[in-house]
Amino acid sequence: MRKVEGGLAALWSVGSETDVRARVAALNTEIAKVNSRMVEGPPTRLASLDVDEIVSEWRARRAHPG
């Protein structure tokens, strides 16, 4: 799902943990919407994102950029 991939890529440049958490929550809402829709073809079950895991990675990237 491109919207989620793009949203994740944009997280690493966000300036505050509060904003990271809010953006991950918004992405999880989008994932839930996609998973609840009836779609032709094979079902898509994208898992929700783990907010704490993403925040930990965000902190690590800020501590060690590049």
Q: What is the Cα–Cα distance from 19 to 42, expressed in whole angstroms?
A: 34
Q: What is the pTM of this model?
A: 0.82
Q: If you average pLDDT over residues 28-43, what whole number do you get?
A: 77
pLDDT band at 50 (very low <50, low <70, confident <90, very high): very high
> What residue spans define the domains of the chain?
2-63
Is pLDDT at 40 greater than 70 in this prediction? no
The 3-state secondary structure of 12-24 reads CCCCCHHHHHHHH
User: What's the number of CA atoms in the CB half-sphere (13 Å) around residue 46?
Assistant: 17
Is pLDDT at 46 greater than 90 in this prediction? no
Is pLDDT at 38 greater than 80 in this prediction? no
In one-letter notation, the amino acid at residue 8 is L
Q: Round the average pLDDT of the chain to a whole number and report it.
A: 87
